[in-house]
Amino acid sequence: MQSDNPTAAILVIGDEILSGRTREGNAHHLAQVLNATGFDLREIRVVPDDHDQIVAAIRAFDGSLGGAYDLLFTSGGIGPTHDDITADAVAAAHGTTVEIHDAARALLQARCDRMGTELTPNRLRMARIPVGAALIDNAVSGAPGFSIGNTHVMAGVPEVFRGMVDWLVPRLGGGRPVQSRTIEVRRGESDVADELGVIAAEFPDLSLGSYPYHDERGWGTNLVVRGLDAARVEQAMDQLKQRLSL
pLDDT tens for each residue of the chain, 246 residues long: 888 999 999 999 999 999 999 999 999 999 999 999 999 999 999 999 999 999 999 999 999 999 999 999 999 999 999 989 999 999 999 999 999 999 999 999 999 999 999 999 999 999 999 999 999 999 999 999 999 999 999 999 999 999 999 999 999 999 999 999 999 999 999 999 999 999 999 999 999 999 999 999 899 999 999 999 999 999 999 999 999 998
Give helix then strand counts, H and E, for the chain: 9, 11
Class of domain 179-243: alpha beta
N-terminal to C-terminal alpha carbon distance within the chain: 25
Q: In terms of CATH, what superfamily is 7-172?
A: MoaB/Mog-like domain (3.40.980.10)
- Sheet containing 40-47: which strands, arranged edge to edge? 40-47, 7-13, 71-75, 151-154, 145-148, 134-136
Query: Residue 1: what pLDDT?
Result: 80
Query: Residue 2: what pLDDT?
Result: 84
Query: Residue 96: what pLDDT?
Result: 98
Query: Residue 246: what pLDDT?
Result: 85
Query: Residue 91: what pLDDT?
Result: 98
What is the reported pTM? 0.92
CATH 3.40.980.10 segments of the chain: 7-172
Q: Could you count the other beta carbons within 10 Å of the beta carbon of residue 71?
A: 27
CATH 3.30.70.2860 segments of the chain: 179-243
Contact 10, 73 (CB under 8 A): yes
